Amino acid sequence: MRPTVWKIIQQQSEYMKTLYITYTHGDEHPPYEIPNALVANPLARERNLRYIETDLNRSFGVKTPVSYEEKRAVELEEMLNDYDLVVDIHRTTAQTKFCGIVTKSDDAVYVLPYGVSAVVLVENIQNSLISRAKHGIALEYPYAYSLHTGSVPLYRVKKFVTAEPHWIDFEETEQGIPYLVNEKAYHGKCFLLEKIHPNINSNLRE
């Protein structure tokens, strides 16, 4: 039986021209196979490395591309332009719950169908992959994550934490928001999400 995530992918793709990207970090194996997903960093994937020369997720928008990843970013950016939505799939060994990352607050809505418990807004990273897309989200799956076999909860943005963020790389907050450690990647504010419906399938089309 196909997991519910397939329905999310299918339905979201019907709304918008959507590009799924895997292996932006070459050693992060996606939690499920996505047909037609674009492998962002094929050489790093082949060698099972995070990157070859520079972190691809910080290699976009470089004036004079030199490294393998900076040149690859130029190629990728041309492809991103053809899509309304880009979904960048990541995997983390950090102690965290499944969460989403956006660089533009309006894009949080595209994370919600995946059933995350938090969306982190990262505004200060201009050279990341999703920041170059028209609409872009990153999904950060911990290795402990297992696919839902039944319905996936639908969440909505409950509250935006406007206070100056105190956490680096998703350090823990008193609200119990999931956090990342050891990724050395993100500094952001966080959306708290509220579960509103137990079954995604009847809601996604609304």
Interface residues with Zn ion (CB under 5 A)?
A: 25, 28, 90
Nearest distance from C-beta of residue 143 to Zn ion, angstroms: 12
Query: What are the tokens at 146?
Result: 């297992």
Nearer to Zn ion, 5 or 56 (CB): 56
Of 184, 188, 183, 186, nearest to 93 by C-alpha is 183
Contact criterion met (CB below 8 Å) for 15 and 80: no
Nearest distance from C-beta of residue 138 to Zn ion, angstroms: 8
SS3 9: helix
Nearest distance from C-beta of residue 20 to Zn ion, angstroms: 15
Nearer to Zn ion, 4 or 96 (CB): 96
Residue with tokens 């979904």: 87
Nearest distance from C-beta of residue 118 to Zn ion, angstroms: 17
Nearer to Zn ion, 27 or 151 (CB): 27
SS3 20: strand
Nearer to Zn ion, 67 or 201 (CB): 67
Contact criterion met (CB below 8 Å) for 180 and 101: no
Nearer to Zn ion, 4 or 70 (CB): 70
Q: What SS3 string covers 101-113?
A: EECCHHHHHHCHH
Residue with tokens 């799956």: 141
Nearest distance from C-beta of residue 42 to Zn ion, angstroms: 15
Of 147, 141, 19, nearest to 90 by C-alpha is 141
